[in-house]
DNA sequence: TTTTCCAATCGTACTTTTACGATTGGAAAT
DNA sequence: ATTTCCAATCGTAAAAGTACGATTGGAAAA
């Protein structure tokens, strides 16, 4: 059983919140997420067409969003379909809400 | 008079949201803001005592938060009192709320 | 099997961020 | 006038972020 002070819980929350915030800290990633919210899902190629960025750059941004847990990809050969990770999205929403009161 | 398409407004929002998110994208800055929320205001020196970081590092984080518009400092010689910038805080809150729906 | 297609990864260059100690600046106190 | 005090800024070093073109990998199609 894990023993945690209230303080360390807050610290963990701060870390997690910062992690999410960092992932949101680039206009392209915000735009990608907005697109995913509106479309529910999309392929990497769709984004490459929308944004004036190289395919490798888009891929890198997707990787960061995935690492932060905000999106998830499922293979749908030969394409990969990206969606919002609803669980973590909810967590992020809650953390930001709590932060701003 | 400025002519803006709905699209460009959304783009601007994305940029602003990313700017705020980037400023929130570090655990120390989250912790500073949480402290300011709870204390309403504080001095740089207070933070230097709380965080295991050099005074110059704290100062840098404060600068970033100030540049992002999330805090403001008023001189109270020889100290400087930092507070949340309530207007921009509200803006940020609104942007995040809108983003997460 | 070979080709085709999509996306990840590699290698690279450049910029930005994070952290530190040292120095500077400005106002109050001596 | 000098000292003291707090915080900003400078200079620097190391790490992380952003972007690109080129290459690789893996699955489907030919």
Predicted confidence at residue B75, as pLDDT, reads 81
The predicted-structure confidence for B45-91, as pLDDT tens digits, reads as follows 899 999 999 999 999 999 999 999 999 998 877 788 999 999 999 99
Nearest to A96 among B15, B27, B96 (CB): B96
Lookup result for tokens 């929403």: A93
- What are the CA-CA distances from residue A51 to residues A56, B13, B22 (Å)? 12, 17, 20
All protein residues with a CB under 7 A from any atom of strand C: A 43-45, 48, 55-56, 58-60, 62-63, 73, 78-80; B 22, 25-26, 28, 52-57, 60-61, 64, 75, 77-78
Strand order in the sheet with A79-84: A41-43, A79-84, A71-76
Predicted confidence at residue B41, as pLDDT, reads 84
Q: Is B71 helix (H, G, I), strand (E, B) or coil?
A: strand
C-alpha atoms less than 13 angstroms from C-alpha of B91 in its C-beta half-sphere: 17
Predicted confidence at residue B39, as pLDDT, reads 82
Task: Set out the domains of chain B in order of their start, with CATH numbers.
Answer: 14-95 (1.10.10.10)
A67 touches chain B (CB under 8 A): no
A63 touches chain B (CB under 8 A): no
What tens-digit pLDDT sequence spans chain A (101 residues)? Answer: 544 444 555 577 899 999 999 999 999 999 999 999 998 788 888 999 999 999 999 999 999 999 999 999 988 777 899 999 999 999 999 999 999 98
């Amino acid at each position: 059983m894990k023993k945690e002070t209230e303080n360390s819980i807050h610290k963990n929350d701060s870390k997690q919140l910062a992690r999410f915030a960092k992932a949101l800290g680039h206009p392209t990633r915000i735009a990608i997420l907005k697109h995913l919210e509106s479309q529910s899902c999309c392929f990497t190629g769709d984004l490459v067409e929308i944004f004036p960025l190289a395919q490798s750059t888009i891929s890198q941004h997707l990787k960061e969003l995935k690492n932060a847990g905000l999106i998830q990809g499922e293979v749908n050969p030969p394409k990969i379909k990206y969606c919002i990770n609803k669980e973590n999205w909810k967590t992020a929403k809650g953390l930001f809400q709590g932060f701003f009161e």
